[in-house]
Amino acid sequence: MPLEFEKPILELERRIAELKETAKATGVDLEAEIRLLEERLARLRKETYENLTPWQRVQLARAPGRPTTLDVLEKAFQDFIELHGDRAFADDPAIVGGLAYLEGEKVVVVGHQKGRDTKENLQRNFGMPHPEGYRKAMRLMDLADRFGYPFLTFVDTPGAYPGVSAEERGQAWVIAQSIQRMSRLRVPAVTVILGEGGSGGALAIAVANRVLILENAWYSVISPESCAAILWRDAKEAPKAAEALKLTAKDLLQLKVVDAIVPEPEGGAHKDPDRAIRNIKEALLKALEELKGLSPEALYEDRYRRFRSLGAFAEP
Amino acid sequence: MALERLFRRKRPSGGNRDVPELWTKCEACGAQIYKKEFQENLHVCPKCGHHHRLPAQERVAMLADPGTFQETTRLRPLDPLGFVDTKPYVERLKAYQAETGRPDAILGGTCQIGGVPAVLLVMDYAFAGGSMGSVVGEEIARGAERAAEEGRALVIVAASGGARMQEAALSLMQMAKTVMTLDRVWARRLPYVSVLTDPTTGGVTASFAALADVILAEPGALIGFAGPRVIRQTIRQELPEGFQRSEFLLKHGMVDRVTDRRRLKEELVRVLRHLHPGVAYAPGV
């Protein structure tokens, strides 16, 4: 399904295909015309994808077919064993986690999980966790700490679920606790923001030593739509809000909210998920390499310093 | 997040033009209250008990022992994103500063509370809905560090719509920052008491405010993660009576006590004396 801003590219692709078809059917030499159009197509692609607006990136971050946590676990890791449940209330399908190997090294992994089709999306609540999801995440943080295995997380959520059930079970409390639990890890922690990094629901599993972000992913305090609904009093102003929030990978790198950007294939990770996942794996290994040799206390202090230094204010 | 409340700011109390200057009107029951009585009653309606929002300086005055409060909050906000919505963020800041006489949405310092040395931090709802940006986050972090260094209890009075949108991801990071610095207080085995007042929502509830040793809430305060309007939009039905109010949270196990403002200081002192390792057996106040 093409995004609105990709339609001119698709239109050109269709015309080229038509011309080729005609050339084949009629035997007329259209080589020159086709070459011309192909050059135009290359330019158009470059122009479009190198100058993506923040709002266009938000759309790419939500594109169907973009790699999810389970896709990454399947392709970049070995022998993933999913572990379920928070041992208190339920298993939350919006957060998955378990044990895996990354290039032969034992790791514990947790991530938001969106559905890959409508039916699965409903079952997974569109990747919006309830308190039990964060409790499951904390249980796995305990596990990582106990065995000394690196803790890796994948972020992809519009936000924690804003509903009655979630409030009744202490959504704010578990998010706070999960932030605290993750900040106290004595093992290397690396986060990759895969798609959407929606507010506290994302941060709850993103208090890592190294926070990486995919080129077209977004991460902010609020979604552009909600921000627009509040500040512009109109959700349709989301493109403006996306601009103002400085939620793109590049902006976040400048603000030091993220430490590195993971490149995506042209047109977004969904265009070539395998390549995107190879890039993710490479970035993860590099981040883990940087943290190798740090003592448990040094890892805690490294994380403390990382977050302690964030913010912009003036001394009197 | 209940950030939408930010733009429906009500004056914290009184000021109704229909009644003479000497009188104010209860927001809940409409009773006419003699202003002086209203103030002496800590902005609680003597007729119906409704807790009106209390300005930050009056909160400090009611909790700190007389003459002990030394203000430490003085950081000034910047505009790191160059944020402009229907108005530039810098202009909004200037307007709030002029209105409240404060650089940002927090007032804090060192003091004694019932003789217990403390760092007291009070969020100011009148400033941008008490929203947490870099300044609020840093002041809370410094307050926690100061409490740890000087062996003081930490008391934070929350009143906030959540993280501040105009500092976007940097506001979000303040949630992690404030939570992490609480570790310093824990490590020194010092008490941290959180007082939740109307309203406390979003990224403030979901960070430092929820992680205290003891959590007290004022009666009838709106407390939660998502704001009621957002929840109503999500589930497309009316919310149950009393949903996200202090009493609801007490019932669901999220807060330790719902405490009437007129007894808040007394309860706070008792809790601090119980917890602070530097205070010997000291029943009552």
CA distance A152 to A203: 13
B109 part of contact set with chain A, CB < 8 Å: no
* Residue B105 belongs to some domain of the structure: yes
Could you give the percent of chain B with pLDDT greater than 70?
Answer: 92
Considering only CB atoms, B231 lies closest to which of A164, A246, A312, namely A164
Tens digits of residue pLDDT in A199-251: 999 999 999 999 999 999 999 999 999 999 999 999 999 999 999 999 999 99
Residues A280 and A300 in one domain: yes
Domain of residue B129: give its range: 53-275
Asked if A27 and A131 sit in the same domain, the reply is no
Q: Do A191 and A67 share a structural domain?
A: yes
Contact present, A57 and A264 (Cβ < 8 Å): no
Q: Report the range of poorest mean pLDDT among A62-66, A311-315, B5-9.
A: B5-9
Check A230 against B254: CB less than 8 A apart. Answer: no
Q: Could B182 and A316 be called an inter-chain contact, meaning their C-beta atoms sit closer than 8 Å?
A: no
Nearest to B224 among A167, A231, A308 (CB): A167
Nearest chain B CA: its distance from A282 CA (Å): 26
* pLDDT at position B281: 78
Partner B, chain A 5-44, Cβ-Cβ below 8 Å: none
Taking CA–CA distances from A202, the nearest residue in chain B reads B172
Residues 6 or more apart whose Cβ sits within 8 Å of residue A301: none
Q: Both A142 and A22 in a single domain?
A: no
Task: Classify the C-alpha dihedral B268-B274-B276-B281 as positive or negative.
Answer: positive
- Ramachandran angles phi, psi of B29, nearest 5°: -105, -5
Mean pLDDT of B249-275: 97
- For A167, the closest of B75, B81, B226 (CB atoms) is B226
Sign, Cα dihedral of B235, B236, B241, B243? positive
Q: What local confidence, expressed as pLDDT, does residue B76 receive?
A: 98
Query: In which domain, by residue range, is A100 found?
Result: 63-308
Indicate whether B19 belongs to any domain.
no
Tell me what the mean pLDDT of segment B21-45 comes to: 94
- Chain A residue closest to B84 (CA)? A244
Mean pLDDT computed over B265-276: 96
| Measured CA distances, A64 to A58, A95, A130, A273, B65 (Å) | 12, 18, 23, 11, 59
pLDDT higher than threshold 80 for residue A35: yes
Instruction: Tell me, yes or no, whether A282 and A210 share the same domain.
Output: yes
User: Which structure tokens are listed for A98?
Assistant: 């378990």
Q: What's the structural domain count of chain B?
A: 1
- CA separation for the pair B249, A170 (Å, rounded): 8
pLDDT range class, residue B2, cuts 50, 70, 90: very low
The domain tally of chain A equals: 2
Q: Which of B229, B80, B79 is nearest to B162 (CA)?
A: B229
| Residue A56 is assigned to a structural domain of this protein | no
Tell me what pLDDT residue B3 has. Answer: 47
Residue B233 — very low, low, confident or very high, per pLDDT cuts 50/70/90?
confident
Q: How far is B12 from chain A (nearest CA, A)?
A: 21
Q: In this structure, is residue A85 part of a structural domain? A: yes
B279 in contact with chain A, both atoms CB, cutoff 8 A:
no
In-domain check, residue A314: no
CA A26 to CA A29: how far, in whole Å? 9
A216: nearest Cα among A174, A168, A271, A178: A271
pLDDT at residue B94, as a whole number: 98
The answer to whether the CB of A133 falls within 8 A of the CB of A92 is: yes
pLDDT of residue A242: 97
CATH of the domain at B219: 3.90.226.10
Predicted pLDDT at B14: 47
> How much is the mean pLDDT over chain B?
93
Q: What's the pLDDT tens digit per position in B96-155?
A: 999 999 999 999 999 999 999 999 999 999 999 999 999 999 999 999 999 999 999 999
Taking CB atoms and an 8 Å limit, are B78 and A241 in contact across chains?
no
Is ipTM beyond 0.85? Answer: yes
Please give the residue of chain A at the shortest CA–CA distance from B251.
A168
Length of chain B, please? 285
Which CATH number is A67's domain given? Answer: 3.90.226.10
Taking residues B25-37, report their average pLDDT: 95
Per residue in A87-128, pLDDT (tens digit) is: 999 999 999 999 999 999 999 999 999 999 999 999 999 999
Are A222 and B3 in contact (CB < 8 Å)?
yes
Whether B30 contacts B22, CB under 8 Å: no
Cα distance between residue A141 and residue B273, in whole Å: 34
Region of residue B251 (left: phi > 0; alpha: psi -120 to 50; beta: else): alpha
CB B64 within 8 A of CB B113: yes
Residue of A nearest to B8 (CA): A230
My answer on whether A89 and A138 are in the same domain is yes
Neighbours of A232 (CB within 10 A): 16
Considering the domain boundaries, does residue B100 fall inside one? yes
Query: Is position B280 within any domain?
Result: no
In A204-295, alpha helices (H): 224-231, 238-244, 249-254, 273-291
Please give the average per-residue pLDDT across A28-39, as a whole number: 92
Q: CA–CA separation, B22 vs B33, rounded Å?
A: 9
Q: Which residues contact A98 (CB under 8 A, 6 or more apart)?
A: A80, A81, A82, A83, A108, A109, A140
Indicate whether A18 and A92 sit together in one domain.
Answer: no
Shared domain check, A240 and A122: yes
Structure tokens at B30: 């409409």
Portion of chain B with pLDDT greater than 90, in percent: 84
Q: Is A50 on the interface with B (CB under 8 A)?
A: no
Residues A128 and A204 grouped into a single domain: yes
Contacts of B85 in chain A (CB under 8 A): 231-232, 240-241, 244
Going by pLDDT thresholds of 50, 70 and 90, the confidence category of residue B20 is: low
List Cα–Cα distances, B33 to A205, B10, B17, B51, B161, in angstroms.
49, 18, 14, 13, 28
Phi, then psi, of A189 in degrees rounded to 5: -125, 130
Q: Are residues A278 and A151 in the same domain?
A: yes
B131 in contact with A, Cβ within 8 Å: no
- Known binder of ligand: residue B26? yes
Do residues A82 and A162 touch, judged by C-beta distance below 8 A?
no
